[in-house]
Amino acid sequence: MNKRIAANQNYYTCNLNSFILTEAEKTGILDLIEESAQRVITVDNAIMNLKHPHFVLNVSLIIYEGFELNTIREQIISKTSDYFLKNTRRDRIPASDLVRIIENIEGVDSVTVWFDADSANMEIYGDNYGIDNFGDIILQRYVDDAFGNKVPVKDIYPLIRGGWESFTGIYYDDSIVKDKLSNVNIQLRGITPVDLNSQQNKTIVSSL
């Protein structure tokens, strides 16, 4: 993905076509397998067409006194963009991963993270919008086999991009502008004064 995105773009601003293989690219990959002599003779290789459910990232912050929210916001966008571009998990995207990333940004005292989902995700997942009871994004769905059994299929590549309306009627813009709900929404809910007690507690937490 990093090779498909221009240097002046990131996960949240690149063209959505960057996430989809062209037919020529699929053919090139299959040809490469053939030329490398890695293909199993009795197996016909095929590249799955991935499903792309849509989500947005919501963040609620308490920051330390003396730090600029705009600076922290830019770092959140940059670091979470890197995370989504490099993510290799096939089971789920845990909200706790994003919490850890954001908590490590200088000036952040505490953070709450949650995802919202496109109402159209139901067409992909069948019986849910792609977020489990713990707030994680699910990276598999279930389909019926020839015998009517539910079997898991891992053909999900989620996009943390707006341009849709949630099942609760909230519209998210496909952008990272600050004055409207978009791909990443950051809310400041408090500022913590820096005193001896807060500094000592931060040291304690870091050492655990």
Q: What is the predicted pLDDT for the residue at 80?
A: 98
More confident residue, 130 or 27: 130
More confident residue, 203 or 126: 126
Q: For strand 150-153 and strand 141-144, is the pairing parallel, antiparallel, or unpaired? A: antiparallel
Mean pLDDT of 165-190: 96
Q: Comparing C-alpha atoms, which of 12, 40, 2 is closest to residue 177?
A: 12
**pLDDT higher than threshold 80 for residue 208:** no
Instruction: Give the start-to-end residue ranges of the domains of the chain.
Output: 49-207
Mean pLDDT of 38-61: 86
Mean pLDDT of 10-29: 90
pLDDT tens figures, 60-107 = 999 999 999 999 999 999 999 999 999 999 999 999 999 999 999 999
Q: Comparing C-alpha atoms, which of 177, 141, 168 is closest to residue 52?
A: 141
Q: What is the predicted pLDDT for the residue at 130?
A: 97
Mean pLDDT of 175-190: 96
CA torsion 100-87-1-127 (nearest 10°) is -110
111 with 131: CB under 8 angstroms? no
Q: Comparing C-alpha atoms, which of 154, 157, 133 is closest to residue 84?
A: 157
Q: What is the predicted pLDDT for the residue at 25?
A: 85
Task: Calculate the average pLDDT of the chain.
Answer: 91
174 with 162: CB under 8 angstroms? yes
Q: What is the predicted pLDDT for the residue at 91?
A: 93
